[in-house]
Amino acid sequence: MADRISRRGLLGTAVAGAVSAPLLGRASIPSAPKKPKNIILMVSDGMMPSVPVMANQYSELVLGKKSVWAQLKRADDAVHGLMDPRILEGFVPDSAAAASSWGSGTHILNGYVNAFPDGTFLTPICRLFRQAGMKTGLVTTASATHATPAGFAAYTISRRGEEEIAVCYLNEEVDVVMGGGSKFFDASARSDKRDVSGDFAKKGYAVARSTKALKAAKGRVLGLFAENQTPYEVDRVNTPALEEQMPSLREMSVEALRLLKGSKEGFFLMIEGARVDHAAHNNDAAAIVGDQLAFESAVEAVLEFARNNGETLVVVTSDHGCGGPTLNYQLFPGKDTGLYLLPKSTMSFEVLLPLLKDITNPDDYIAKVTEHTGVTLTAEQAKFVIRNRDEKILDGVTQYSYQYAGLGMVMSRHWNVGWTGTSHNGDYTWISAVGPGKEQFEGIVLNRTFFEKFLAFKGLKFVNPSISVEEAYRQREAAKTSAWMVGEEMVGL
Ligand SMILES: [Zn+2]
C-alpha cells in the first residue's frame, strides 16, 4: 500500500541525508483530512507532463502571461502529486481502462469499460454517489459517451459500444451529461433506431443542442453539441458558426456547476478536455496547445467556484500521456520560429488533412499548408509528407503509426515541437488539488485509489471485484470479446 509518499517524507529524507528507509514507509499526515461536500475531477486526456509546460511557454511568449496551470502550480492553497497510470495488463492505459480504474477502483484490460471479458460488470462510482443522494455530472469535449466519461457511469465490454453507453447514462440517471456524440442518442442515427434522447426527455431532462439552449436549461440536462467529437478549439474559434452553436469547455463547466450546485448532499462532476489526447495522436502542436489552454480556462472557472464555495474539492490530472510532445528549441527573440508561429494556424490537422489529401504537386501542397498554418514547408518536406501520407511507417524506417504523423514530423521543424510517437505512453501525470481532502493527492498516487478516496469523503465504502491478468486473458480468449485491442496500437483512442 506504499503507493503514496507525503511531501513531508521526501523533504525529511533530503534534509537528513538518509536514502532509502524513509521512502519505503508511509509517512503520515497528523491531522485527519477534511471532507468535501462536492467533488470535481478535471481530466485533460493525454496530458503528459510536458503539455501544460509547453502551453505555459506559449502563453508566456505569445499571450504575455503565465498559464492557469502555471499559476495553479504556484498557488498557496494547492497541493501537487503524480499519478501512476498503470492498468491490469501494463503501464500504458487506454482511456477506457484508465477511467474505469477511477470509476470502479479496479484495474481491468484496455478497451473495456468497467467490465471483465466474461461480461461481469463493475459498479460505477456515479451510481454509488446517486444512491447516497448526490447529483452527478459528466462533461467532455469528446462524444458524451467516449471512454473517459463512460468510466464513471457505464459498463460495457467494448468502449466502442457508445450506443450502449448512452443507455447506461439514461439508466444510471446521471444528472448532467454534456459533449458531442448526438449520433449515439438520436433515433435517426442509432443502429437500433431507439430514441434515447427522447427517453431522456421523457425522464424530465432538458435536451440542449446549442449554447443558448444550455444556458436556458434547468434541472437535469443532456447537452449534445456535435454529432461526433466537438471541434478542436482552434477550429471552434476560427469558425463563427461553430463558436455560436458549440459551447466552450469553460462554458459547459460553468453551466454544469450552475445545474449541480444546489444539491443538498453535494455533487460529483467529471470534466474532461478530451481532445488534447487526439491532438497528441495527430502530432498537432497548434491543436494541443489550443485545447490545453481551453481546458485550463475551464479549470480557472471551476477553481473560482470552489474557492468561493469552500466545500468543494477540485482534482486536476490526466489519465495517461500521449504522443510525447516536447519543445525542442526556442529563442525569445525568435519571433518567426517555434511557438510564435502557432497563432498563424487557423485549423487543426483534422480539418487541414482532408484539404491536402488529393494534392500531389509539392508546390501546391506547400501553398495550401502556408495558407492555413502560416508555415512554409521546404520542397523536401512536402515530398516527404506526400510520399508517406498513406504509410504507417514513414519512409520505411520511422515507427510512427498514424496518417497524421508525416505532417506533424515536418511541422515540428518549424514549430520546434518534437514527438516520440503517435500513441499513448506510460509517463506519470500531474495531479493538482485544491479544497478539502486535497492532501490525499500528494506524492505518487495510484489511479485506482481515486475511487476509494472519493467514496471515503462521503462516508462510503465499496469494493468492486478484482481479476488477475491471466484470468482476464483467459476470459477474453473464451468470450472472443474486444479482440480489437490485441496487437492494435493505441491510436485515436
Ligand atoms: Zn488516446
| CA 166 / ligand 1 centre spacing (Å) | 20
Domain end call among 367, 399, 418: 418
pLDDT computed for residue 397 by the predictor:
66
Enumerate the β-bridge partners of residue 425: 321
| CA 172 / ligand 1 centre spacing (Å) | 26
Any idea what the Cα angle at residue 37 is, between residues 35 and 41, rounded to 5°? Answer: 90
| CA 281 / ligand 1 centre spacing (Å) | 6
| CA 425 / ligand 1 centre spacing (Å) | 9
| CA 408 / ligand 1 centre spacing (Å) | 16
Same domain, 197 and 274: yes
| CA 363 / ligand 1 centre spacing (Å) | 33
Structural domain tally of the chain?
A: 2
In a domain, 367, yes or no: yes
In a domain, 171, yes or no: yes
In a domain, 26, yes or no: no
pLDDT computed for residue 333 by the predictor:
86
In a domain, 243, yes or no: yes
Count the alpha carbons within 13 Å of 342 in the hemisphere toward its beta carbon.
28
Same domain, 316 and 339: no
| CA–CA separation, 141 and 481 (whole Å) | 28
Same domain, 410 and 382: yes
Enumerate the β-bridge partners of residue 399: none
Same domain, 260 and 402: no
| CA 183 / ligand 1 centre spacing (Å) | 21
Q: Nearest 10 degrees: CA dihedral of 311, 315, 316, 318?
A: -150
Q: Which three cell numbers stand for residue 191?
A: 443502429
| CA 6 / ligand 1 centre spacing (Å) | 30
Same domain, 334 and 320: no
| CA 33 / ligand 1 centre spacing (Å) | 34
Residues 6+ apart with CB under 8 A from 153: 103, 124, 125, 126, 127, 136, 138, 168, 169, 172, 174
| CA 401 / ligand 1 centre spacing (Å) | 13
pLDDT computed for residue 248 by the predictor:
96
In a domain, 48, yes or no: yes
In a domain, 487, yes or no: no
| CA–CA separation, 268 and 438 (whole Å) | 15
Same domain, 431 and 364: no
| CA 449 / ligand 1 centre spacing (Å) | 22
| CA 147 / ligand 1 centre spacing (Å) | 10
R_g of the chain, CA atoms, integer Å? 22
Q: Which three cell numbers stand for residue 155?
A: 459498463
| CA 100 / ligand 1 centre spacing (Å) | 15
Q: What are phi and psi for residue 134, nearest 5 degrees?
A: -85, 160
Q: What are phi and psi for residue 428, nearest 5 degrees?
A: -65, 155
| CA–CA separation, 2 and 24 (whole Å) | 7
Q: What are phi and psi for residue 170, nearest 5 degrees?
A: -65, -50
Domain range for 402 is 330-418
In a domain, 117, yes or no: yes
DSSP assigned state of 424 = E
| CA 476 / ligand 1 centre spacing (Å) | 22
| CA 4 / ligand 1 centre spacing (Å) | 26
pTM, entire model: 0.91
In a domain, 31, yes or no: no
pLDDT computed for residue 400 by the predictor:
61
User: What sign results for the dihedral spanned by CA atoms 380, 381, 384, 390?
Assistant: negative
Any idea what the Cα angle at residue 72 is, between residues 450 and 412, rounded to 5°? Answer: 95
| CA 45 / ligand 1 centre spacing (Å) | 7
Write the CATH number for 145: 3.40.720.10
Answer for the pair 199, 170: CB distance below 8 angstroms, yes or no: yes
Same domain, 452 and 465: yes
Same domain, 409 and 454: no
| CA 236 / ligand 1 centre spacing (Å) | 21
| CA 290 / ligand 1 centre spacing (Å) | 17
| CA 460 / ligand 1 centre spacing (Å) | 32
Same domain, 298 and 345: no
| CA 424 / ligand 1 centre spacing (Å) | 6
Domain end call among 400, 418, 436: 418
Q: Nearest 10 degrees: CA dihedral of 273, 276, 282, 284?
A: 130
| CA 422 / ligand 1 centre spacing (Å) | 9
| CA 273 / ligand 1 centre spacing (Å) | 12
Domain end call among 418, 438, 458: 418
| CA 322 / ligand 1 centre spacing (Å) | 6
- Of 413, 298, 297, 275, nearest to 351 by C-alpha is 275
Same domain, 299 and 213: yes
Each of the 493 residues of the chain gets a pLDDT tens digit; together they read 334 433 333 333 333 333 333 444 444 544 544 899 999 999 999 999 999 999 999 999 999 999 999 999 999 999 999 999 999 999 999 999 999 999 999 999 999 999 999 999 999 999 999 999 999 999 999 999 999 999 999 999 989 899 999 999 999 999 999 999 999 999 999 999 999 999 999 999 999 999 999 999 999 999 999 999 999 999 999 998 888 889 999 999 999 999 999 999 999 999 999 999 999 999 999 999 999 999 999 999 999 999 999 999 999 999 999 999 999 988 888 788 899 999 999 999 999 999 998 999 999 999 999 999 999 999 999 999 998 887 766 766 665 656 677 899 899 999 999 999 888 999 999 999 999 999 999 999 999 999 999 999 999 999 999 999 999 999 998 887 654 554 444 444 5
| CA 229 / ligand 1 centre spacing (Å) | 13
pLDDT computed for residue 195 by the predictor:
98
Answer for the pair 328, 285: CB distance below 8 angstroms, yes or no: no
| CA 328 / ligand 1 centre spacing (Å) | 23
Same domain, 108 and 138: yes
| CA 278 / ligand 1 centre spacing (Å) | 6
Same domain, 111 and 239: yes
| CA 405 / ligand 1 centre spacing (Å) | 14
Match 477540485 to its residue by C-alpha cell: 314
| CA 323 / ligand 1 centre spacing (Å) | 9
